[in-house]
Structure 1
Amino acid sequence: MEQDALANGVFLIAFDEAAGRSGLAPDLLACGLVGAQLADLVAVGALSVDPEHRVVATRPGPTRPAGGEAATLVLDSIAHEPRSHPVRAWIDALGGPLLDAVRNDLVQRGVLVQTSERSLLGRRRPRLAIADPPAARAPGTALRSMIRHPATFTLDGAVTLAVIAALGVERLLEPEVDRATARSLAQDAAQHFPEPLARLQAGLAETAAAVSVAVRR
């Protein structure tokens, strides 16, 4: 499993092509990206989440997994921190840098392209556009297909759905997928997660709930 796959996928599923930016508030998007990247690294055994919901580097750990800027940022930050911290603390610390890393990676891969547009006042502002439509739409297409055919779910798909449900943004899958169906499948999938992934999801949901309240204020 490529170690930036889940974070990139969440970014693309949340991307609003017409607006040229994410359909989620920046804090909520950052929460989802960190959660997805942590899940990627937990799934391969590079990280774990203890019973107190603290994220820890495995000791002794496996050979460092190959990955891009996002995976390296998260793994190095946690591995070199002398104290362990809960999921929420890492989301707060890594949200901004990880958002930049994922966006840069997708531009470098040629999936997205950085452009600009003029505002009503004539100022130019940055904008993202899809450069490779099949690649940009693939994560959402694959996840919607798995939801329609649950027997085809992969671990990556189940974790991605769990991240979306933890953020409370199942609407991103509409109109093809009903929110209640997505939420129910996410709950079912989470019951079969290994303990570290289940703890990670719980920490992510708690953080996302707090972020959502702050966004609405």
Structure 2
Amino acid sequence: MEQGALADGMFLIAYDEATGRPGLSPDLLACGLVGAQLADLVTGGWLTIDTGGRVVAVRSASTERVTGEAATLVLDSVAHEARTHPVRAWVDALGGPLTEAVHNDLVRRAVLVQTTSRSVLGRRRSRLDVVDTTAAHAPALALRAMVRSPGTFTLHGAVTLVLLAALGVEQLLEPEVDRATARALAQDAAAHLPEPIDRLRRDLAETALATSAAIRR
């Protein structure tokens, strides 16, 4: 089963086509991508978040292998760790490698392409440019459409909105969707999500808050 749709979607929603890079700080983007990939694996039955807020591999799901660099990285890391750890520990451990894995996946799929150029001073600059416009814009367009018509929300869309709200970055959906509307819908959606996803949401919000505070210092 191909995994990674939530993490890829999170990256593309955060991606700023004008600058050719994500519109979030690297630490906050990494927090969102780890949260999205954990959510993807939780909804797929490979992981869960226990009542203590620790990420746990679900052994009964091990007979069906996941595919994709990002999903394999996260699942193997959790499954082969002798002790269980909270969400924040996995954000710290996997944020950088997972960001690279998602980046690689989008380039491999020819959704984005890495380009380099030189400034007038000879400095090398790199950026991501869109190759497949439809695929690159699809996650944000789909989520905005669901926010405008809440009755059309899928589980995938609800989880994505809840994670964006946990990160405190609902403004990524502006100007088509105002932040207050997105936040209110996310609060409503959170009440209907499976308990492990809600635990993930709470832990991710705490992690993102700590990350943002560290950035401001």
> TM-score over 0.5 for the alignment?
yes
Aligned to 2:207: 207
Q: Are 1:111 and 1:131, in contact at CA under 8 Å, matched by a contact in 2?
A: yes
Q: Are 2:46 and 2:59, in contact at CA under 8 Å, matched by a contact in 1?
A: no
SS of 1:60's equivalent? helix
CA distance in 2, matches of 1:209, 1:103: 24
Aligned to 1:151: 151
**Per-residue Cα deviation, 1:88-110 (whole angstroms, up to 9, x for no partner):** 00010000000000000000000
CA distance in 1, matches of 2:120, 2:47: 47
Does residue 186 of structure 2 align to residue 191 of structure 1? no
Q: Which amino acid aligns with 1:98?
A: L
Where does structure 2 lack aligned partners over 5 or more consecutive residues? none
TM-score normalized with structure 1 length: 0.97
Deviation at 1:121, TM superposition (A): 2.4
- Shifted more, 123-132 versus 139-148: the winner is 123-132
Aligned to 2:163: 163
Aligned to 1:38: 38
CA distance in 2, matches of 1:212, 1:63: 39
SS of 2:171's equivalent? helix
Does residue 52 of structure 2 align to residue 52 of structure 1? yes
State the Cα RMSD in Å.
Answer: 1.1
Aligned to 2:122: 122
Q: Are 1:165 and 1:186, in contact at CA under 8 Å, matched by a contact in 2?
A: yes
CA distance in 1, matches of 2:82, 2:62: 19
Deviation at 1:216, TM superposition (A): 1.5
Q: Are 1:32 and 1:164, in contact at CA under 8 Å, matched by a contact in 2?
A: yes
SS of 2:121's equivalent? coil
Q: Which amino acid aligns with 2:136?
A: A
Q: Which amino acid aligns with 1:34?
A: V
Deviation at 1:62, TM superposition (A): 4.8
Q: Which amino acid aligns with 1:193?
A: L
Q: How many aligned residue pairs are there? A: 217
**Per-residue Cα deviation, 1:148-186 (whole angstroms, up to 9, x for no partner):** 000000000000001110110111000000100000000
Q: Are 1:3 and 1:65, in contact at CA under 8 Å, matched by a contact in 2?
A: no
Aligned to 1:86: 86
TM-score normalized with structure 2 length: 0.97
Does residue 72 of structure 2 align to residue 103 of structure 1? no
CA distance in 2, matches of 1:65, 1:148: 36
